[in-house]
Amino acid sequence: MKFWSKFWQSSKQPRKQRKYLYNAPIHIKKKFLSANLSKELREKYNRRSFPLRKGDEVKVMRGEFKGKTGKVNRINLKESKVYIDGITRKKVDGSDISVPIHPSNLKIVDLNLSDKKRLESLNKTSRSEKNDKKASKKTVSTKFLESKKKRK
């Protein structure tokens, strides 16, 4: 039986971190399948990373296939692995097999924006914009207090 708690905070122990990741339900594991965006996409969308989806073009940043690019062919939520077109390995019998890659070793070069909801989530306000809005609200409230003090 798997044990997993959404109230778990954190731990320095790698075994507990791994246990949290492996035993997480699939709807939570989907959030772990995010990859960094390229510099151009970061500037365009004001985001650092974004969840992977079939059809995204990615570049491998670490490992045996470092530097190769390709489209995401398949995503395995259960294993938290991504399969990319063109990244294969030969088996002993001579047939090719796709190599699973962890999403932390990938960089998104081009996004698959065929889904309207995905485009909307990309265009949501970023953290920096939210912080700017909070700062502007604070200045408005301080101005109000200053004008109130002058009236007295």
**What pLDDT does 55 receive?**
95
User: Residue 115 corresponds to which tokens in the numbers above?
Assistant: 């889904």
User: Residue 60 corresponds to which tokens in the numbers above?
Assistant: 């491998």
Distances (CA, A) of 91 to 5, 43, 72, 88, 101: 40, 41, 21, 10, 17
Q: Indicate the residue type of 72.
A: V
**What pLDDT does 5 receive?**
86
What tens digit of pLDDT does each residue of 107-147 get?
A: 999 999 999 999 898 888 555 566 666 555 555 556 556 66
Residue 45 to residue 40: CA distance in whole angstroms: 9
**pTM (two decimals):** 0.76
Contacts of 103 (CB under 8 A, 6+ apart): 32, 33, 34, 35, 52, 80, 82
**Residue written as token pair 């301080």:** 142
The answer to whether 103 and 29 are in contact (CB under 8 A) is: no
CB atoms within 10 A of CB 32: 14
Tell me the mean pLDDT in the region 81-100: 96
**What pLDDT does 56 receive?**
95
**What pLDDT does 105 receive?**
96
Domains of the chain: 14-151 (2.30.30.30)
What tens digit of pLDDT does each residue of 15-63 get?
A: 999 999 889 998 889 889 999 999 999 999 999 999 999 999 999 999 9
